[in-house]
């Protein structure tokens, strides 16, 4: 039907897909860096609100919203949270029906920004901090988006159910029959984090890995924020994938969860932010986008959220594994963009849902 | 479901202009738009490919692709098992309540009503809290009592029997109501005759009461089958974590990116056809019941004396009602007040943080509550008006062609919520009527879903008001509409208010159509709860769920205060 033709299918013939990270076939001049000016704040206040579509774990997303509202009183942030793949579907569906509800989006599947940029629905806007402090591989050359947050998808375990010496050290360890029925795992059809992670793991470990993992009678949840929560509840002993940042939050609040950085490397997740051309509140969108990359907001998502920041002025929180020491797999949004559908289909076939 | 029409006096067609005719056409047209449009698009899409060319490949995929045939088989087994369990539980309970001197029968009826109005998806989430194999409260309790190891569990809700159990918890009231209702109506004199002829109490029950109630039980079995087959929330919450789909969750998953509307349409058709067939079967069965008890309203039903068994009987009923009501509500309350949903809350650990989060930090709450209330009120109001007018036109046979209206108003019963959702999505995301993204599309869905039950309630209310009252008014010179307003309306006030509340309660808990049709601006509370479940925010769900239950019970209790409605609701539910 008209409204649901796959964008990837439509554009598959247009070629120009052999891209490296964030490289773009259309090279326009990057926009001038923008600062937060009184005029912008005034214009944003007239709009009174900003709508933020994101896949950040809900309580953290609301904390970011509240910090923005505290700094800029009179501008309400409405957080629309779902899995990144759902957000992508939602925006696609809404735009196909000419519903322009989203101001600013943050996705845990960086491939979405490749698609949105190509569709021409993003607005260029370059916050000053991004221009000054962010390295080239974490910002779009045309100023359409930049890396708001990074983290890894990790293994973790419940330390009251599993002793440290018995805990898995690698993805291969999870295939040990002793973990059968004890693993919780999130879904790439819902979560951008897991979509990205599934691509990297299938590339580096092969799909056979997932075929074997499927025999472990995993508990299949949707969001990558959920496996950490299921660990904290004590519902499962080990998670095969999920957000590092949720594990930090839970561990630091006293829950019995421990992160494990797999010896094979942990899938690297990058969550860019961008604003939309047809944003209903364009000024509030710019203000919000700008605020998101300030050291203040970036330090908040690190300290409170457990995320990693690209901003050089932001400090790691003590007690966490320093970002430099984390062995990551290599991310490749362009490849995820191309293979997304195949990954979902293959995953559903292997795991039955 | 429809009772047989009372014979009404033939009337000469009124001369001159009668507004009734106009209203008839308007309503017939409206109902057509509501039902025929989405179903036509659904069927159209099932038979075309992406380019719009005719194809049968969508159906070929259904039959050959295991990812479709597995859910279909699962769904059938699920529906049969649920139906069987519901009958096994609800029939004895219905008998105990209606035909024995068991104490606390009213309490049991109230609690069954409570299970009836509890949103099934909320029950499913509550049962996750109770019976997840490791973190479930019941399993923790089991390990605490038995000293079993950390892995041991007494119950596991993420299994197929677990899903059947949870669905049965919120489906058995349908069977209970039908059975209790039938038993209430069985005339006492048949049983008296049996006793006089020397049968003992139990023998009478076996040879008279049970056979007379059997058609109602069969009808109940079909209704339970349909409920289990068309339910979306519970399988989405309990089956997917365990790694399998039912038809409804499969259809829903076809709308995830990249959406496959054609396949979803094709997969919806088997559900639609099965529902139509089963409803026809149900009507035939209930029609027979009508004959078997006709003419015998003379004697009060005779109550069987249970003697020493009456307290064990009550205990049994209470044990059954632990499952849909007492345990789940307790689990929700516990999760709402506990810092970790799987910990038993104590006075020391109790926290208001979750409540604060939902009402002060969660920015989606306000809009969702607002949308839900707006939709609840509008659906209830418009649905009631529609039902009043249509039941007037059909019971008074006011216009020629009233049977068409009767059919159209009853037809949505045969459309499962998720199928209606797919149909409406296909209809209203493209010109000329792009209603997607507005509350209108949800309003249309909710009105369509609630119309049949509302219509049936009001139809029987209209039948209870004899037309001679209206005739008197018309003879004195009133028009049809004036007679309706001045004579019939005041007499029907109670039923109309009851219907309004009935629709309101049904609308605020609707999930299966809403989940196909919402956008970020038109999210409702049920969808918000479903969203929160996918990210594992159980505490927030518990708070929202308790809020939803509070509103529901406030409305139900308000309605029960209207004289005479307490029993009406159970009979017509």
Domains and CATH numbers, chain B: 76-320 (1.10.3720.10), 359-538 (1.10.3720.10)
Using DSSP, state whether A22 is helix, strand or coil.
coil
Alpha carbon distance B408, B400 (integer Å) = 15
Alpha carbon distance A26, B276 (integer Å) = 55
Does the structure show a pLDDT above 90 at B392? Answer: no
Which of B380, B272, B373 minimizes the C-alpha distance to B35?
Answer: B272
Strand A49-54 with A238-239, pairing: unpaired
A92 and A105 housed in the same domain: yes
Nearest chain B Cα to A89, which residue? B257
What integer pLDDT is reported at residue A7 of this predicted model? 43
Mean of pLDDT values over B81-101? 94
Q: Which of B78-87, B129-138, B352-361, B426-435 is predicted least confidently?
A: B426-435
**Is residue A163 situated within a structural domain?**
yes
Q: What are the backbone angles phi and psi of residue A257, rounded to the nearest 5°?
A: -125, 145
**Is residue A326 situated within a structural domain?**
no
Nearest to B261 among A4, A90, A225 (CB): A4
Does the structure show a pLDDT above 60 at B298? Answer: no
What integer pLDDT is reported at residue B4 of this predicted model? 44
Instruction: Give me the sheet containing A183-185, strands edge to edge.
Output: A219-220, A183-185, A238-239, A155-158, A257-260
Does the structure show a pLDDT above 90 at B200? Answer: no
What integer pLDDT is reported at residue B245 of this predicted model? 96
Nearest chain B Cα to A185, which residue? B241
Mean of pLDDT values over B102-125? 94
Q: Do B244 and A353 touch (CB under 8 A)?
A: yes
A264 and A274 housed in the same domain: no
Higher pLDDT, residue A155 or B66:
A155
Nearest to B256 among A89, A161, A233 (CB): A89
Chain B nearest C-alpha distance from A185 (Å): 9
A156 and A204 housed in the same domain: yes
A119 and A257 housed in the same domain: no
A207 and A296 housed in the same domain: no
Mean residue pLDDT of chain B comes to 87
Does the structure show a pLDDT above 60 at B13? Answer: no
Give Cα separations from B446 to B34, B359, B421, B460 (angstroms): 10, 26, 10, 22
pLDDT-derived band at A17, boundaries 50, 70, 90: very low
Does the structure show a pLDDT above 60 at B15? Answer: no
Alpha carbon distance A146, A157 (integer Å) = 32
CB A178 within 8 A of CB A151: no
A156 and A263 housed in the same domain: yes
pLDDT-derived band at A247, boundaries 50, 70, 90: very high
A253 and A277 housed in the same domain: no
What integer pLDDT is reported at residue B196 of this predicted model? 86
Does the structure show a pLDDT above 80 at B296? Answer: no
Does the structure show a pLDDT above 60 at A325? Answer: yes
**Is residue A101 situated within a structural domain?**
yes
The predicted model scores a pTM of 0.90
What integer pLDDT is reported at residue A294 of this predicted model? 97
Nearest to B436 among A59, A97, A255 (CB): A97
**Is residue A193 situated within a structural domain?**
yes
A312 and A234 housed in the same domain: no
What integer pLDDT is reported at residue A314 of this predicted model? 96
Q: What is the pLDDT of residues B409-448, one digit of tens each?
A: 988 988 999 999 999 999 998 888 889 999 999 999 999 9
Chain A nearest C-alpha distance from B255 (Å): 9
Alpha carbon distance A268, A228 (integer Å) = 17
**Is residue A290 situated within a structural domain?**
yes
Chain A nearest C-alpha distance from B6 (Å): 48
Mean of pLDDT values over A274-291? 98
Mean of pLDDT values over A166-172? 97
Burial of A333 (0-12, 13-18, 19+ CB in 10 A): buried
In a mutational test of the B interface, the residue from A6, A99, A177, A189 whose CB has the highest number of chain B CBs within 10 Å is A99
Higher pLDDT, residue B19 or A185:
A185
Mean of pLDDT values over A193-198? 98
Residues forming beta bridges with residue A269, ordered by sequence position: A151
A118 and A221 housed in the same domain: no
B361 chain-A contacts, CB cut-off 8 A: 59, 62-63, 66
The C-alpha R_g of chain A, in whole angstroms, comes to 20
A77 and A122 housed in the same domain: yes
E strands along A166-252, which residues?
A: 183-185, 219-220, 238-239
Domain count of the fold of chain A = 2
Residues whose CB falls within 8 Å of the CB of residue B210, separated by 6 or more in sequence, listed in order: none
Instruction: Provide the ipTM.
Output: 0.90
**Is residue A251 situated within a structural domain?**
yes
Residue A104 parent element (H or E)? strand A104-106
Higher pLDDT, residue A249 or B196:
A249
- The domain in which residue A234 lies consists of 152-268+342-351
Give one DSSP letter per residue of A228-272, joined into a string: HHHHHHTS-SEESS-BHHHHHHHHHTT-SEEEE--TT-BPEEEEE
A134 and A278 housed in the same domain: yes
Q: Do A62 and B363 touch (CB under 8 A)?
A: yes
CB A53 within 8 A of CB A87: yes
pLDDT-derived band at B11, boundaries 50, 70, 90: very low
What integer pLDDT is reported at residue B360 of this predicted model? 94
**Is residue A284 situated within a structural domain?**
yes
**Is residue A58 situated within a structural domain?**
yes
Give Cα separations from A249 to A253, B214, B357, B510 (angstroms): 6, 58, 17, 34
What integer pLDDT is reported at residue A30 of this predicted model? 76
Q: Do A4 and B244 touch (CB under 8 A)?
A: no
A61 and A172 housed in the same domain: no
Burial of A260 (0-12, 13-18, 19+ CB in 10 A): buried
Alpha carbon distance A81, B423 (integer Å) = 26
Does the structure show a pLDDT above 90 at A129? Answer: yes
Does the structure show a pLDDT above 50 at A9? Answer: no
Does the structure show a pLDDT above 50 at B40? Answer: yes
Q: Do B430 and A222 touch (CB under 8 A)?
A: no
Higher pLDDT, residue B492 or B532:
B532
Which of A108, A92, A110 minimizes the C-alpha distance to A100?
Answer: A92
Which of A314, A160, A308 minimizes the C-alpha distance to A248?
Answer: A308
pLDDT-derived band at B199, boundaries 50, 70, 90: confident
Q: Looking at residue A44, which CATH number applies to its domain?
A: 3.40.190.10
pLDDT-derived band at A16, boundaries 50, 70, 90: very low
Chain B nearest C-alpha distance from A113 (Å): 15
Nearest to B134 among A76, A236, A341 (CB): A236
Does the structure show a pLDDT above 70 at B504? Answer: yes
């Amino acid at each position: 039907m008209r409204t649901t033709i796959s964008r990837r299918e439509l554009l598959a013939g247009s070629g120009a897909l052999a891209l490296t990270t964030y490289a773009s076939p259309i090279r326009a001049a990057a926009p001038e860096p923008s600062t937060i000016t009184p005029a912008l704040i005034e214009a944003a206040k007239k709009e009174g609100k900003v709508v933020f579509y994101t896949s950040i774990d809900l309580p953290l997303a609301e904390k970011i919203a509240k910090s923005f509202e505290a700094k800029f009183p009179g501008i309400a942030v409405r957080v629309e949270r779902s899995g990144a793949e759902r957000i992508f579907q939602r925006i696609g569906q809404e735009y196909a029906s000419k519903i322009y509800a989203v101001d600013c989006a943050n996705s845990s599947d960086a491939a979405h920004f490749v698609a949105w940029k190509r569709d021409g629905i993003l607005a260029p806007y370059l916050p000053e901090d991004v221009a000054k402090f962010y390295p080239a591989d974490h910002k779009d050359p045309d100023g359409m988006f930049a890396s708001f947050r990074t983290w890894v998808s990790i293994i973790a375990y419940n330390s009251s159910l599993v002793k440290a010496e018995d805990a898995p050290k690698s993805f291969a360890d999870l295939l040990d029959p002793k973990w059968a029925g004890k693993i919780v795992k999130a879904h790439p059809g819902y979560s951008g984090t897991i979509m990205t992670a599934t691509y990297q793991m299938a590339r580096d470990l092969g799909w056979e890995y997932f075929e074997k993992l499927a025999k472990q009678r995993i508990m299949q949840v949707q969001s990558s924020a959920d496996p950490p929560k299921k660990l904290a509840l004590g519902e499962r002993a080990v998670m095969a994938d999920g957000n590092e940042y949720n594990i930090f939050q839970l561990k630091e609040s006293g829950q019995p969860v421990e992160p494990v950085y797999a010896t094979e490397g942990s899938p690297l997740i990058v969550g860019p932010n961008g604003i939309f051309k047809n944003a209903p509140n364009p000024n509030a969108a710019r203000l919000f986008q700008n605020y998101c990359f300030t050291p203040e907001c970036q330090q908040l998502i690190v300290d409170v959220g457990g995320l990693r920041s690209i901003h050089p002025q932001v400090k790691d929180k003590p007690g966490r594994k320093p970002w430099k020491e984390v062995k990551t797999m290599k991310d490749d949004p362009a490849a995820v963009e191309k293979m997304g559908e195949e990954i979902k289909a293959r995953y559903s076939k292997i795991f039955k849902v | 479901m429809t009772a047989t029409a009372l014979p009404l006096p033939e009337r000469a067609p009124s001369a001159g202009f009668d507004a009734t005719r106009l209203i008839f056409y308007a309503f017939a047209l409206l109902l057509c738009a509501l039902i025929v449009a989405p179903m036509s698009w659904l069927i159209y899409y099932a038979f075309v490919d992406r380019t719009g060319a005719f194809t049968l490949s969508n159906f070929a995929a259904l039959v050959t692709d295991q990812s479709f045939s597995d859910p279909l088989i699962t769904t059938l087994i699920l529906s049969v098992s649920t139906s069987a369990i519901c009958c096994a539980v609800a029939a004895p309970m219905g008998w105990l309540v209606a035909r024995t001197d068991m104490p606390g029968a009213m309490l049991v009826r109230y609690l069954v009503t409570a299970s009836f109005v509890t949103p099934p998806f909320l029950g499913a989430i509550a049962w996750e809290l109770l019976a997840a194999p490791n973190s479930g409260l019941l399993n923790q309790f089991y390990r605490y009592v038995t000293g079993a190891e950390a892995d041991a569990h007494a119950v596991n809700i993420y299994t197929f029997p677990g899903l059947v159990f949870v669905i049965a918890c919120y489906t058995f009231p349908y069977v209970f109501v039908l059975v209790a209702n039938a038993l209430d109506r069985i005339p006492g004199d048949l049983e008296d005759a049996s006793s006089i002829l020397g049968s003992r109490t139990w023998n009478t029950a076996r040879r008279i009461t049970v056979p007379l109630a059997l058609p109602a039980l069969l009808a109940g079995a079909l209704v339970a089958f349909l409920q289990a087959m068309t339910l979306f929330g519970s399988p989405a919450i309990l089956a997917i974590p365990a790694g399998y789909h039912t038809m409804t969750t499969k259809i829903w998953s076809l709308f995830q990116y990249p959406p496959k509307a054609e396949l979803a349409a094709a997969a919806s058709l088997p559900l639609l056809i099965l529902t139509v067939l089963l409803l026809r079967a149900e009507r035939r069965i209930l029609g027979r019941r009508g004959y078997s008890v006709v003419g015998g309203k003379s004697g009060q039903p005779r109550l069987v004396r249970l003697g020493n068994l009456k307290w064990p009987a009550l205990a049994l009923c209470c044990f059954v009602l632990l499952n849909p009501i007492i345990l789940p509500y307790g689990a929700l309350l516990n999760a709402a007040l506990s810092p970790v949903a799987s910990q038993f809350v104590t006075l020391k650990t109790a926290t208001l943080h979750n409540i604060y989060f939902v009402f002060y930090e969660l920015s989606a709450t306000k809009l969702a509550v607002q949308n839900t209330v707006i939709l609840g009120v509008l659906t209830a109001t418009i649905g009631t008006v529609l039902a009043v007018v249509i039941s007037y036109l059909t019971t008074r046979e006011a216009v020629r062609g009233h049977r068409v209206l009767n059919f159209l108003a009853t037809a949505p019963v045969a459309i499962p919520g998720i199928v209606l959702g797919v149909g409406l999505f296909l209809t209203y995301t493209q010109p000329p009527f792009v209603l997607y993204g507005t509350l209108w599309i949800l309003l249309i869905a909710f009105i369509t879903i609630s119309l049949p039950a509302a219509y049936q309630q009001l139809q029987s209310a209209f039948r209870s008001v004899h037309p001679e009252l209206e005739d008197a008014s018309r003879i004195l010179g009133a028009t049809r509409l004036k007679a309706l307003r001045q004579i019939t309306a005041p007499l029907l006030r109670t039923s109309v208010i009851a219907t309004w509340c009935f629709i309101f309660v049904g609308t605020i808990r609707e999930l299966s159509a809403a989940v196909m049709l919402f956008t970020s601006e038109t999210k409702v509370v049920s969808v918000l709860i479903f969203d929160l479940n996918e990210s594992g925010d159980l505490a927030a769900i518990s708070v929202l769920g308790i809020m939803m239950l509070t509103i529901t019970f406030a409305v139900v209790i308000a309605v029960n205060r209207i004289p005479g409605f307490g029993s009406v609701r159970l009979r017509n539910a």
